[in-house]
Amino acid sequence: MDSEEDMHDANDVESMDDEFYSGGAEDAPMDYYCSEYHNIDEDVEVEYEEDEDEDDDDDANFDFVEDDADDSIDIESRRAEQNFTILREFDIRQRQEDDITRVSTVLSISRVASSILLRHFNWSVSKVHDAWFADEDRVRKTVGLLEEPIVRLPNARELTCGICFDTFPRDSIKAAACGHPFCSTCWEGYISTSINDGPGCLMLRCPDPSCGAAVGQDMINSLASNEDKEKYCRYLLRSYIEDSKKTKWCPAPGCEYAVNFEAGSGNYDVICFCSYGFCWNCTEEAHRPVDCGTVAKWILKNSAESENMNWILANSKPCPKCKRPIEKNQGCMHMTCTPPCKFEFCWLCLGAWADHGERTGGFYACNRYEVAKQEGVYDEAERRREMAKNSLERYTHYYERWASNQSSRQKALADLHQMQTVHLEKLSDLQCTPESQLKFIIEAWMQIVECRRVLKWTYAYGFYLPEIEHAKKQFFEYLQGEAESGLERLHQCAEKELQQFLTPDSKPSTDFNDFRTKLAGLTSVTKNYFENLVRALENGLSDVDSNGACSKTSTKNVGGSSKGRGGRGKGTTRAGCSSRSADDTLYWSCEQCTYANVKSATRCEMCNQQRR
């Protein structure tokens, strides 16, 4: 029977709120960020300032009590709260050696045999033990661990190689556990070819076609070249990570760290030592609060040709003769197709230009088109063209904002690095303030970086939110708007207002204390906005009931987070929710483009996707 650790597949864990956004870690609000932007192995002290009171002034002049004795966070305690462990090459080798030793000790077999067993069972010690004690003979036969040799070599001075059939002195003949004799030269060629073919060499068997005896690492070390031995060791190390369900390599380019993930937490976000954050479940960049399915659809849509086709449909017309799409780039209605077609036609009615002239309206109009349009001849084509144009505009709207927040996040990361390495020391000298008391600036930039990531993915979420769910859409847009406006104020304060204190002629003043109060307050309020947004999205906007109204809990949460915005929190129910209810029985939403189709339609009228 599998142990508990093997019964839990890390990829099947259900999503849950983690401490950062669930509100359960308010005493240490920056724990989530520290692991991303600091090397966890370094003894880094991260200090915090707590603020609870928020003013109702739109200028965001927040009053709060500063704690001069900032809290320091112990690195080891932060590690204990994580559901993942970052592994260096040394750590991987150590774990691998420990597992081999455990199996070798318990089963009373050699380390080479233990390594072969573990590779076969994907480096699961418990599975090796279970299978071995259930049926040892069967396991030995399956993996090729023979207790007795199949061939007994004669007691002769010379033996014949089973591959080249030449005769060699006895000490030049080598054999695996099966006893099949082959010369050293043939063994070296066989092993070298297998290693250069790839990781399959880890399950190397005897060269005899009828034999399944395993070739262990001891023979590799004695017969392979140094280069091949190094490759084999590299394959062996990588197999420890790649064959296990609980470990993965960090997907960042050039990163050589691995991640061991503990099942059961529900939070898929992983932050590597290289500062790259990714989702354990799908290995894309970290994308909470959006689920992996939505991210996959969004990435596919960004890279697919569907939007190119929508653009062609919305901005071009087919040549009436050769059917190639043509874009109109000048004001005249007289169109000429490109060679070899060269067909001349009217842009409006698509008729031959030979039939046009002054009598049909000249170069800038077409009487035939107007008459045909009134008769409904072009209704279907125009309708599809208009639908394609609306779909393209909608996608462009969300994509531009998604990409813009990605660019802003990259810029914020660069600014954070600049602040940590250059500006913090300079600011400390100019304001005569210890660097330990300027950590509120670093915390603000960390908040900006993380909020930009969250805000970016909310636009992917909004794109796939069905149009017919009006109440949820309005509630989502309200929460997104509140969070975005709060983030913009924080970003502007950290980026622009700080500059006046970095000039060479800047001197210590009370203005810097006011700036400190404002920036720390904005950091706290922005965090609250994004907590509300993430919590709502992870719950599927369930606070909006079936009648299109917000629940009292939702109104209270959002209203509370809007405190300090000139009383906007009181209007949460009106702004965030709609009393209109979407009649789900009349429409169905396309999974590809989210267009609301009539119930009788079997294919999407926008993208022609089959209804599922």
d(CA 532, CA 557): 7
Judge whether 237 and 199 are in contact, CB under 8 Å: no
Identify the sign of the CA torsion 447, 452, 453, 454: positive
d(CA 452, CA 455): 5
Q: Compute φ and ψ for 11, nearest 5 degrees.
A: -85, -5
212 token code pair:
């399944």
Per DSSP, 610 falls in state B
Backbone angles phi, psi at 317, to 5 degrees: -135, 150
599's tokens? 């119930």
DSSP 354-409: GG-SGGGTTTS--HHHHHHHHTTTTHHHHHHHHHHHHHHHHHHHHHHHHHHHHHHH
User: Helix 111-120 and helix 226-242: axis angle, to 10°?
Assistant: 50
Q: Helix, strand, coil shares of the chain as percentages rounded to 5?
A: 50, 10, 40
If we measure between CA atoms, which residue out of 17, 269, 32, 2 comes closest to residue 259? 269
Which among 230, 234, 254 is positioned nearest to 242, based on CA atoms?
234
Q: Which residues pair with 561 in a beta bridge?
A: none
Q: How far apart are CA 183 and CA 160, in angstroms?
A: 8
The values of phi and psi at residue 249, to 5°, are: -80, 145
| Strand runs labelled E in 141-198 | 158-160, 167-169, 173-174, 182-183
C-alpha dist (Å) from residue 502 to 206, 413, 506, 534: 71, 19, 7, 35
Catalytic residue flag (residue 332)? yes
d(CA 550, CA 569): 14
Give the whole-angstrom CA distance, residue 410 versus residue 456: 12
- Of the candidates 164, 279, 322, 332, the residue annotated as catalytic is 332
DSSP code for 569: G
Annotated catalytic residues are 332
